[in-house]
Amino acid sequence: MSTLSAAAPARGYRPALALRHLGLGAIAPREAMREGLAAGIGERGRLLVMALFALVLGLIDPETRALGRSALANALDDRSRTEGLMFLSAGALVIGLALWIAYWAAACVALACCRRGWSRESLGRARSVVALSAWFSLLPTAAVKVLALAILPAAMIAADPPSLFSSIEIAMLIPFFAACLIAAFGIGPGRAALAAILVNGGLYLLLVIFSFVAPSQ
């Protein structure tokens, strides 16, 4: 009886590899990106690390935490439980949908900048760049945001852009995004840096515009 199937290594972006990449990705993102692609990261893995990235940064942000506590308190209150649960569900749905749209938009823009042609494989690689660059940047970004909470004036800390605090993750993401593009598509550092700035800066600009045009109530 053959033992090849039993001995074959498990494919996919396993939790052990993801945890290892929190450290390795922060200091050697190109190497971690190659490992992630070699492991065969799928859509579930990409979306999971993106969700964890957003969750951790949301928990660090004091205004986001306050909104979450308020919604949870309403959901636990007998008199407003239905309204609170609806608010929590709607909030989670909106945030999740916005994150998914941003994820796909960033992948498409990055692939267009790389000029590597449109195919299922290349688009999958671009989505892996978006997800894994965020994951690799998580620890450095969290450290900088915690430090910013300690030293920045309260007026510079806000959940809604434009604010210095809300722009930290964008600035921190750019070098990781560029490094992952280089590893995934073999493009030059200049083009990778330009693509990273266009993608992450463009998403933040859209968020800023939305914050100005969205109704206040």
- The pLDDT value given to residue 1: 38
> How far is 203 from 98, CA to CA, in rounded Å?
11
Q: Is the pLDDT of residue 188 over 60?
A: yes
More confident residue, 24 or 7: 24
Confidence of residue 214 (pLDDT cuts 50, 70, 90): low
- Burial profile 7-25: b = 16 or more Cβ within 10 angstroms, e = fewer: eeeeeebeeebbeebeeeb
Three-state secondary structure string covering 1-28:
CCCHHHHCCCCCCCHHHHHHHHHHHHHC
Question: Where do the domains of the chain lie?
Answer: 14-61+98-210
Cα–Cα distances in angstroms (integers) from residue 54 to residues 1, 30, 141, 159, 163, in the given order: 47, 22, 11, 13, 18
What single-letter amino acid sits at 163? S
What's the whole-number average pLDDT of the chain?
84
- The answer to whether residues 32 and 132 touch, using CB atoms and an 8 Å cutoff, is yes
Rounded Cα–Cα distance for residues 176 and 193 (Å): 10
When pLDDT is averaged across residues 191-217 and rounded to a whole number, the result is: 78
pLDDT at 79: 66
What is the mean pLDDT of the segment spanning 110-136?
Answer: 93
pLDDT band at 110 (very low <50, low <70, confident <90, very high): very high
**pLDDT over 90 percentage in the chain:** 52
In angstroms and rounded to an integer, the radius of gyration of the C-alpha atoms of the chain is 19
More confident of the two residues 103 and 6: 103
- Whether the bond between 189 and the residue before it is cis, its omega within 30 degrees of 0, is no
Angle, alpha carbons 157-204-106 (nearest 5°): 140
Q: List CB contacts of 165: < 8 A, sequence separation 6 or more.
A: 61, 145, 148, 149, 152, 156, 157, 158
Q: Give the residue, 187 or 65, on which the prediction is more confident.
A: 187
Nearest to 45 by CA among 132, 110, 123: 132
pLDDT at 116: 80
Which residues are CB-contacts of 76 (< 8 A; sequence separation ≥ 6)? 84
Please say if the pLDDT value at position 212 is more than 70.
no
Backbone φ, ψ for residue 159 (5° rounding): -75, -30
pLDDT of residue 213: 59
Q: For the segment 54-87, what is each residue's pLDDT rounded down to a tens digit?
A: 999 988 988 777 777 776 666 666 666 666 667 7
Give the model's pLDDT for residue 135: 97
Amino acid present at 68: G
What pTM did the predictor assign?
0.85
